[in-house]
């Protein structure tokens, strides 16, 4: 029987976050989740605090509230994230900065705030929700790819700093996850955009109805298994497509990966 842990999970109003919070609560852990509006998740089954990942002041306030509820934080799961769909040329830099606040800087700040007590106790687990796009980039998601790559690079460097103090750092790298995440995206398509026709195929979210694609509950199980396993890998492919790519990527040159991406994009565009 695993010792009950105090766990903080960001982005716990839907999808992976709420699934992980409920699963870990059912396993006997004390969980606090964050979301912009806790009242939007009635009967969550776990405590929620308000935190807007795009607002640094809100991140600081939300962390203080979560810590007051939990006391010591044994596990941090940086799950909250935002997506994008649009050409770099069409996307204002302001939108890119906001994406980095949500996907990168808020995770970095929460990680930084959790480390001192974890280090003092000689134990802690930090799980970052990265993405396959760190290794397999797609057009019209350039800033998203950059933000997830930044989080992965940060985490891989961080682990060397904190490992001597008993702190584990893991990066989960899912491929497509079946959820409402994609349907909530607002494509950036200004009038007269040179990219409008090429962008349309990327607005096809039929995979969200494919039961073979991993969903939030599936990712939540990986999170729980990672927490429970002190020998879990640092980088963890999540979902069948990510696992398949990780297996074959070690045998692929950069040129071969480019051809693979081109082939996938050709299929998506019907070329």
Supply the residues annotated as catalytic: 144
Q: How many CB atoms lie under 10 A from the CB of residue 52?
A: 19
Strand (E) or helix (H) holding 87: none
Q: Which residue has the tokens 């990066």?
A: 171
Phi, psi of 54 (to 5 degrees): -85, -5
Query: Which DSSP string corresponds to 93-159?
Result: HHHHHHHHIIIIIHHHHHHHHHHHHHHHHT-EEEEEE--GGGTS--TT-HHHHHHHHHHHHHHHHHH
User: Are 142 and 202 in contact, with CB atoms under 8 Å apart?
Assistant: no
Strand duo 124-129 + 30-35: pairing: unpaired
Q: Give the end-to-end CA distance of the chain in Å, rounded to a whole number.
A: 54
Query: Which DSSP string corresponds to 27-65?
Result: TT-EEEEEES-GGGSTT-SSEEEE--TT-HHHHHHHHHH
């Amino acid at each position: 029987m695993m010792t009950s842990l105090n766990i903080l999970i960001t982005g716990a109003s839907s999808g992976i976050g709420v699934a992980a919070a409920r699963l870990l609560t059912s396993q006997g852990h004390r969980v606090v989740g964050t979301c912009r509006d806790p009242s939007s998740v009635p009967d969550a089954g776990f405590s929620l605090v308000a935190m807007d990942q795009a607002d640094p002041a809100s991140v600081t306030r939300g962390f203080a509230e979560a810590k007051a509820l939990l006391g010591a934080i044994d596990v941090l799961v940086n799950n909250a994230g935002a997506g994008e769909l649009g050409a770099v040329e069409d996307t204002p830099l302001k939108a890119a900065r906001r994406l980095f606040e949500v996907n990168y800087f808020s995770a970095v700040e929460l990680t930084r705030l959790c480390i001192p007590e974890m280090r003092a106790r000689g134990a802690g687990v930090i799980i970052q929700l990265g993405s396959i796009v760190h290794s397999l980039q797609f057009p019209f998601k350039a800033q998203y790819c950059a933000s997830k790559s930044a989080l992965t690079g940060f985490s891989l460097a961080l682990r060397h700093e904190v490992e001597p103090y008993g702190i584990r750092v893991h990066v989960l790298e899912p491929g497509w996850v079946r959820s409402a995440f994609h349907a909530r995206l607002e494509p950036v398509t200004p009038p007269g955009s040179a990219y409008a026709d090429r962008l349309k195929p990327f607005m096809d979210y039929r995979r969200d109805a494919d039961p073979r694609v991993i969903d939030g509950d599936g990712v939540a199980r990986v999170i729980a298994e990672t927490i429970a396993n002190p020998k879990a890998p640092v980088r963890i492919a999540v979902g069948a497509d990510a696992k398949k790519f990780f297996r074959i990527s070690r045998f692929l040159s950069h040129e071969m990966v480019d051809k693979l991406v081109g082939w996938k994009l050709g299929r998506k565009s019907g070329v």
